[in-house]
Amino acid sequence: MSEKAFAPNPEYLVQVSHLKQYFPISTGFLKTTMLKAVDDVSFDISKGETLGLVGESGCGKTTVGRSMLQLYKPTGGDIWFAGKKIDGKEALREFRRRAQMVFQDPYSSLNPRMTVADIVAEPIDVHHLCSGKKAREERVHELMSLVGLNTEHATRYAHEFSGGQRQRIGIARALASKPEFIVCDEPVSALDVSIQAQVINMLEDLQSQFGLTYLFIAHDISVVKHISNRIAVMYLGHMMELASANELTRHPLHPYTVSLMSAVPIPDPRESRKQKRIVLGGDVPSPLKMPSGCPFRTRCSRATKECAESCPAMREVSAGHFVACHHV
Residues paired with residue 93 on neighbouring β-strands, in sequence order: none
> Of the candidates 298, 103, 271, which has an alpha carbon nearest to the alpha carbon of residue 187?
103
Quote the number of domains for the chain.
1
267 within a domain of the structure (yes/no): yes
| Residue 128 clears pLDDT 80, i.e. is over it | yes
pLDDT at 303 over 90: no
Is 188 a domain residue?
no
Residue 260 lies in a domain: yes
In whole angstroms, how far apart are CA 54 and each of 104, 110, 265?
14, 25, 16
> Any alpha helices (H) in the chain, and if so which ranges?
61-68, 89-98, 116-127, 133-146, 163-175, 193-210, 221-227, 245-250, 255-262, 269-274, 305-309
pLDDT at position 6 is 47
**pLDDT tier at 261, thresholds 50, 70, 90:** confident
How does pLDDT run across 152-188, given as a tens digit for each residue? 989 999 999 999 999 999 999 999 999 999 999 999 9
SS3 state at 78: strand
Q: Within a 10 A sphere around the Cβ of 282, how many other Cβ atoms? A: 8
pLDDT band at 64 (very low <50, low <70, confident <90, very high): very high
Separation of alpha carbons 120 and 174, rounded Å: 8
Domain presence at residue 264: yes
In percent, the amount of the chain with pLDDT more than 70 equals 96
Query: For residue 179, what pLDDT is reported?
Result: 96
Pairwise pLDDT comparison (310 vs 283), residue with the higher score: 310
Give the pLDDT score at 38. Answer: 94
pLDDT band at 58, cuts 50/70/90? confident
Distance (Å, whole) CA 188 – CA 154: 23
> Per the domain annotation, does 41 fall within a domain?
no
Residue 302, domain member (yes or no): yes
Q: Would you say residue 310 lies in a domain? A: yes
The confidence score (pLDDT) of residue 281 equals 75
pLDDT band at 301 (very low <50, low <70, confident <90, very high): confident
Torsion angle in degrees (nearest 10) through CA of 149, 151, 153, 159: 40
Range of the domain at 311: 253-328
- Give the H or E element holding residue 101: strand 99-102
Q: How do residues 138-147 score in pLDDT, each as one tens digit?
A: 999 999 999 9
> Under a CB-based contact definition with an 8 Å cutoff, are residues 299 and 310 in contact?
no
User: What is the pLDDT at residue 5?
Assistant: 46
Maximum pairwise Cα distance, the chain: 68
CA angle 162-180-41, nearest 5°?
90
- Give tens-digit pLDDT for 71-115: 999 999 999 999 899 988 899 999 999 999 999 888 888 999 999
Within a domain: residue 144?
no
Query: If DSSP codes are grouped into helix, strand and coil, which group holds residue 161?
Result: coil
